Amino acid sequence: MEPPPTNPAARIRGRAVVAWLALVLAVAVVYHGIGRHRFVNFDDPVYLFENGHVTPGLTADGVVWAFTNKETGLWQPSVWIAHMLVSELAGMQPAPHLMTNLLLHALNAGLLFLLLRTLTGVTGRSFVVALLFAVHPANVEAVAWASQLKSTLSTAFFLFGLLAYAREARRGGGVSFVALLALLLSLLAKPMLVSFPLLLVLMDFWPLQRLPAERGRMAGAAWGRWLVGKLPFVLLVGVIAILTVVPWDLSPEMPVVHGPEWARVAALPLNYLSYVGCFFWPAGLAVLYPERLDYPPLVEVGALLLMLVISAVVWRRRKPQPALLVGWSWFLITLVPVSGIVQLGPHGLADRYLYVPGIGLLIAAVWLVADALAGQWRGWQPVLAGFAVMISGGLAHRQVSYWENSLTLWQHAAAVTRPSYVRHVNLGNALLEAGREPEAEAEFVAAINLQGNNPRPYVNLAVIAQRRGDLAKAVALLRQARALAPADARIYSNLGSLLDDRGEKTEARALLEKAVRLRPDLLEARINLGVLLARAGNLDEALANFETAARLKPGDPAVMRNLQLVRQQLAARQPKLIRD
């Protein structure tokens, strides 16, 4: 009896399903327990639980705001809408937002596997790259940080766009409009991936091998047709780039992006080598690495020469090992916007910036090792891959634990990084929230010693003084903070509330009203002004502020309690109707 005929296509699909399930399982094991984590005090307040446009969920006003604001310095409407949608469906709790990030990361690992297998036709190496991407410790920051939904979401659309382009290319088609739409959605979440058209060129070189091969008089026409196919992607990237660099509606609390400076340009090779180092030796990963621009000139020159040597070796091996050139170029190109050539904030480097560029390093490394172990050493390929996955997964799982809450996050950063103003302030905030006031006070004083012209430590020291009953010192500290940041609504809100408690009603009201004018969506300012107005008997105005606060953060206990009390007082003022 003959065995039934096999179906190669079905067998390939079956392997793909098994591979995808393995990727999901690996992500689940490494990130086990993330659903119990809390929001952290770095970016999460701005993006999530203190953002009055996001906390109410998906609303018409929120969607309009998503497309018209750049409060975080970037135009990213699709990520705002995604945050709103999660809030609409599951509320403003950490678990739903973190689990959304986790699901997107698992999806990205699966899309990466499908992309590489579609491009190369090789299942094993494609799976190893995707598996290492899924469990790499450098990717933990992009997954375990709720406000980094922009990274996982933009990458999902990015990989889907590359996959659509690859499939269209395999069919011999022209411009993929699905890829174009996916690129648009990716850039609307995070404009980092403006290098998309250049990656299409890399894929056309290898493994698609679609670069024009004609010579002579036909060469110009062939290259022209090839370039025209890339033109829609270039135009789209250009439009988004312009919208990204044009400033509008910037929050005074967000860092301003500065243009290139010679010190940063000189440090660029060192930044690239630092990223390579932390990717292949992921020890001491942290949420914030203070920027350093004081490298000795010889060190900078040495780094530049090493980068040139690596690039030259990769270029010379482009024919026998094209994956090396594509992987290395992928890393170089996609990292440019966040390479440190412009200042994006208080950090020099960031793990999350490796989320996409690291894919290039994985492609180069996996193909290089697999080629080296070909032939009689072929049996060692799965052994070495399994060892790398176990080591990487173990380090990643430990890295995930540091993101449990703000205190564990910043305590770890303090253990592995140099002192910085931002680290002192955020660790101090976490300690203050934990009730460890003396330690928090020491952190805030250290922050002032590093950067005395920033108002945040003074505000936090005022909170400590207020808790200790020293209201005069608290007021003096808040006045210092206001002098340093005359447009910061939070400072006006805190100072106004404190003066209200001291009985200085006139100045308190003026300060709180200014806080509301500066930030109409600032919840604490609405609550503080509502309390002041209610105490003064201005119940109608107090009601309006509490109703606005309720829209900003539906279900908040303090808001709902004050709203109910004011409504009861208003009802008590109304004459009771009687029937003759």
DSSP state of 348: E
Cα 520 to Cα 523: distance, rounded to the nearest angstrom: 8
Cα 132 to Cα 148: distance, rounded to the nearest angstrom: 20
Cα 113 to Cα 116: distance, rounded to the nearest angstrom: 5
Cα 455 to Cα 480: distance, rounded to the nearest angstrom: 8
Buried b (16+ CB within 10 A) or exposed e, 92-127: bebebbbbbbbebbbbbbbbbbbbbbbbbebeebbb
Q: How far apart are the first and last CA of the chain?
A: 101
Cα 63 to Cα 247: distance, rounded to the nearest angstrom: 20
Q: At which residue do the structure tokens 């200085």 appear? A: 504
Q: Please report, for residues 177, 214, 386, the alpha-carbon distance to residue 223 in angstroms, rounded to integers and kept in the order given.
A: 21, 9, 43
Encoded tokens for 340? 């440190």
pTM: 0.90
Torsion sign, CA atoms 54, 58, 64, 67: positive
What's the mean per-residue pLDDT of the chain? 90
Q: Are 322 and 207 in contact, with CB atoms under 8 Å apart?
A: yes
Percent of the chain exceeding pLDDT 70 equals 92
Q: At what angle do helices 489-501 and 456-467 cross, to 10 degrees?
A: 20
Q: ∠ CA(427), CA(433), CA(438), 5° rounding?
A: 70
Q: Are 394 and 147 in contact, with CB atoms under 8 Å apart?
A: no
Cα 92 to Cα 103: distance, rounded to the nearest angstrom: 18
Cα 454 to Cα 448: distance, rounded to the nearest angstrom: 8
H helix or E strand, kind and range, residue 461: helix 456-467
Amino acid at 234: V
188-241 pLDDT, tens digit each: 999 989 999 999 999 999 999 888 765 555 566 677 788 888 999 999 999 998
289-320 pLDDT, tens digit each: 998 888 899 999 999 999 999 999 999 999 99
Task: Give the pLDDT of residue 117.
Answer: 96
Torsion sign, CA atoms 330, 333, 335, 337: negative
| Bridge partners, residue 169, by sequence | none
Cα 179 to Cα 166: distance, rounded to the nearest angstrom: 9
Q: Are 45 and 76 in contact, with CB atoms under 8 Å apart?
A: no
Cα 40 to Cα 453: distance, rounded to the nearest angstrom: 25
pLDDT tens, position by position, for the chain (580 residues)?
445 545 666 666 778 889 999 999 999 999 999 999 999 999 999 999 989 899 999 999 999 999 998 888 889 999 999 999 999 999 999 999 999 999 999 999 999 999 999 999 999 999 999 999 999 999 999 999 999 999 999 999 999 999 999 999 888 777 789 999 999 999 999 998 999 999 999 999 999 988 876 555 556 667 778 888 899 999 999 999 888 877 755 554 444 445 557 788 889 999 999 999 999 999 999 999 998 888 899 999 999 999 999 999 999 999 999 999 999 999 999 999 998 887 767 777 999 999 999 999 999 999 999 999 987 778 888 899 999 999 999 999 999 999 999 999 999 999 999 999 999 999 999 999 999 999 999 999 999 999 989 999 999 999 999 999 999 999 999 999 999 999 999 999 999 999 998 999 999 999 999 999 999 989 999 999 999 999 999 999 999 999 999 988 888 888 899 999 999 988 887 655 444 4
Cite the DSSP H helix spans in 121-195.
123-135, 140-144, 149-170, 177-189
Task: Give the pLDDT of residue 215.
Answer: 58
Task: Give the pLDDT of residue 223.
Answer: 74
Cα 51 to Cα 553: distance, rounded to the nearest angstrom: 9
